[in-house]
Amino acid sequence: MVPVRSSPLRLFTSILVATILSIAALALGQRFALAHEGGHDHDDSERALLSASTFPRIVAKSETYELVGILRNDRLSIYLDRVPSNEPVTGAKVTVTIGDGEPANTQLSEDGTYSLLRPRVPGSGTIDVVFNISEQGGDDLLVGTLSLPQDVSEAAAALGRGTTWSRWISAVPWAIRHPVALTFVILGLAILFTRYRRRSRPIAATAAASMLVFAGFLAVTLRAEDRLPDGSAKKILSDMSDAPRRLPGGAAFIAKPTQRLLEVRTAAAAPVTASPAVTLIARVIGDPNRTGVVQSLHGGRVVPLEDGLPRIGQSVRKGEPLVQVDPYLPLADRTTISEKTGEIEQLIAVAESKIRRLRPLAERGAVPQSQVNDLETELQGLRQRREAVRTSRTELELLRAPTDGVIAAVKVVAGQVVQAQDSLFQIVDPQGLLVEALVYGALDPETLADATAITTSGQVLSLSFRGFSRALQQQASIVQFTIPDPPANLSVGQPLTVMAKSGTPVTGLVVPRDAVVRSANGEAVVWLSLEPERFEARPVRTRPFDATRLIMAGGLMQGDRVVIRGADLVNQIR
């Protein structure tokens, strides 16, 4: 009897459970399908959220100009830039026509923007705006659309109506309203319904509870498509802001006012045919014909002149006295000089005695006058020898400038004892500097031409090939370049990076080195201007072209607007 009576009930229970599971699977599938379908419209939703979180604006663009108008506090601020340089246009006359209204002239502000006070715009909806631009670079007519959102109160009311059904659902703990938990609850209620099928009240109560839980399950599942993810509803109702930000897709939103502050400049990538460059490590040296050192031949103690020691940076002329050196004599040399002086003094005394004895006799004619003259000549020579010996002990060595130039190094102080051949001063001609580079490998130095160098501070120098050594030094060839117009702040020994052209000419897109930055994962990227206020990072592969530019070997297309100034600041936006 039990199996017969329970068959209809079991069949009913099975049908109920299958129906609930089918509807649940259908609801979940619809939810996932909607989520998947929304992924295709990621860009549109991203732009919609961005438009809702920023001030109302007008965007218009032509081949010559791009314009962004921002409506804020009854003031329409117009930012007019050139294409493709993104350089502000500050000398134009801009006339604005909003919808069917009359044309209105704008006022040029001190910050280079054009403004229109209290423009006549509707409360909501879209309206066409026409900009008539008159400028020396060319006249143009731009047309844009101004989208005005609904009032905040209306948006809040609409959002409140949309969320009335989900308020009581949100109050239920998540562990209870989870779809899996609700499925098990429904299954348990179905079992209770089967167990108490012979009693009318439990059957009615259990059926009512099952239907209630089932309705809650459907509400939780189907309501997901109406909820904005990650609290976007609150974000839409929050205060509008034009602050720079990184969008979910990786692009960067930079409003025109921020671009003016960062001085963002762009340029269209154009192909150039030229020889690729090789990178060489180099340093600045002095021209041997226009550089000199000051050394002492004997050594001794340094004695400054009346004007003192020369200072660094002082200009000197060839042959100009710089410093004196008091020679140092060893004890043996001093003894020898003393003995030689005594010997000369003795010979002088003997010669003077002979002269005094023979002069009276010569006056009387007893001896020839020639003997007296010979003795006087011998006495004069002895006195000169004595003076020479005395002078060798006390004469100072005078050091002079070997060439014209500037004192580049001073390695002495007053009273310092120096050795022979010590370098005391270095004199360099600022207009006579060379660049010495090392060339490794199979690179032929004779193929180097049109070289440029860059200093550690970013200063660029033009170089001319001078020659290279035929002998290797530390497995490298020495290549020298001349600097046609060296800057005043260049120093001898300063390290440089030389970019020299070598090889067969190639054609490629050339961009400045400052345009290439490193992303968070260390990848080389350039930032492209896709829209007037939207920038996107593009990975690239580069090759050196010269000291200031790179050849794009991949990742960039002709005509792309590349950020050439301020790319490092754009890359820091998060």
**CA distances in angstroms from 564 to 412, 459, 498, 513, 570, listed in the order given:** 49, 17, 22, 8, 11
Q: Output the 3-class SS for 238-303.
A: CCCCCCCEECCCCCEECCHHHHHHHCCEEEECEEEEECCEEEEEEEEEECHHHEEEEECCCCEEEE
CA distance 292 to 408: 10
129 and 90 inside one domain? yes
Give first-to-last CA distance, the chain, whole Å: 74
The encoded tokens of residue 556 equal 């960039």
Residue 174 lies in a domain: no
Question: Dihedral of CA 270/275/280/284: which sign?
Answer: negative
CA distance 376 to 221: 136
Residue 123 lies in a domain: yes
The encoded tokens of residue 137 equal 């670079």
Residue 512 lies in a domain: yes
The residue to which tokens 């031409």 are assigned: 449
E strands, 298-375, are 300-303, 315-316, 321-327
The CATH number covering residue 84 comes to 2.60.40.10
294 and 387 inside one domain? yes
The encoded tokens of residue 231 equal 């609290």
446 and 547 inside one domain? no
State residue 316 phi and psi, 5-degree precision.
-130, 160
Q: Which of 557, 505, 493 is nearest to 284 (CA)?
A: 493
Q: What is the DSSP string of 539-557?
A: E-EEEE-SSSEEEEEES--
Secondary structure of residue 358 in the 3-state scheme: helix
Domain boundary (95, 118, 148) is at 148
The encoded tokens of residue 454 equal 């860059």
Max CA separation in the chain (angstroms): 188
384 and 485 inside one domain? no
Domain boundary (100, 127, 148) is at 148
Q: Which of 163, 209, 154 is nearest to 185 (CA)?
A: 209
CA distance 304 to 324: 6
144 and 113 inside one domain? yes
Q: Output the 3-class SS for 29-75.
A: HHHHHHHHHHHHCHHHHHHHHHHHHCCCEEEEECCCEEEEEEECCCE
Domain boundary (501, 534, 561) is at 501
Give the residue numbers spanning the domain of 373.
Answer: 288-400
The CATH number covering residue 549 comes to 2.40.420.20
Angle of helix 152-171 versus helix 200-222 axis, rounded to 10: 140
Contact between 546 and 278 (Cβ < 8 Å): no
Instruction: List, in sequence order, every residue forming a beta bridge with 552; answer none if it has no partner.
Output: 509, 542
84 preceded by cis ω (within 30°)? Answer: yes
HSE value, Cβ hemisphere, 13 Å, CA-based, for 37: 7
The CATH number covering residue 488 comes to 2.40.30.170
298 and 396 inside one domain? yes
Residue 180 lies in a domain: no
Residue 235 lies in a domain: no
Q: At a CB cut-off of 8 Å and minimum separation 6, what does 313 contact?
A: 406, 407
Instruction: List, in sequence order, every residue forming a beta bridge with 482; answer none if it has no partner.
Output: 434, 464
515 and 555 inside one domain? yes
Residue 9 lies in a domain: no
Contact between 411 and 436 (Cβ < 8 Å): no
Q: Which amino acid is at 490?
A: L
Q: At a CB cut-off of 8 Å and minimum separation 6, what does 548 contact?
A: 452, 454, 460, 512, 513
Residue 230 lies in a domain: no
Contact between 558 and 271 (Cβ < 8 Å): yes
- Judging by DSSP bridges, how do beta strands 433-439 and 477-482 pair with one another? antiparallel
Secondary structure of residue 387 in the 3-state scheme: helix
State residue 409 phi and psi, 5-degree precision.
-150, 135
Instruction: List, in sequence order, every residue forming a beta bridge with 292; answer none if it has no partner.
Output: 427
The encoded tokens of residue 94 equal 């801009």
483 and 497 inside one domain? yes
Angle of helix 42-53 versus helix 2-40 axis, rounded to 10: 70
298 and 314 inside one domain? yes
CA distance 539 to 388: 82
Which residue positions in the chain have pLDDT lower than 70?
1-52, 123-124, 149-239, 330-334, 392-394, 442
Q: Which amino acid is at 25?
A: A
CA distance 108 to 113: 6
Q: Which of 234, 268, 266, 236 is nearest to 533 (CA)?
A: 266
CA distance 570 to 563: 9
Q: Which of 456, 566, 567 is nearest to 517 (CA)?
A: 567
444 and 343 inside one domain? no
| Number of domains composing the chain | 4
265 and 324 inside one domain? no
Residue 90 lies in a domain: yes
Q: Which amino acid is at 464?
A: S
481 and 389 inside one domain? no
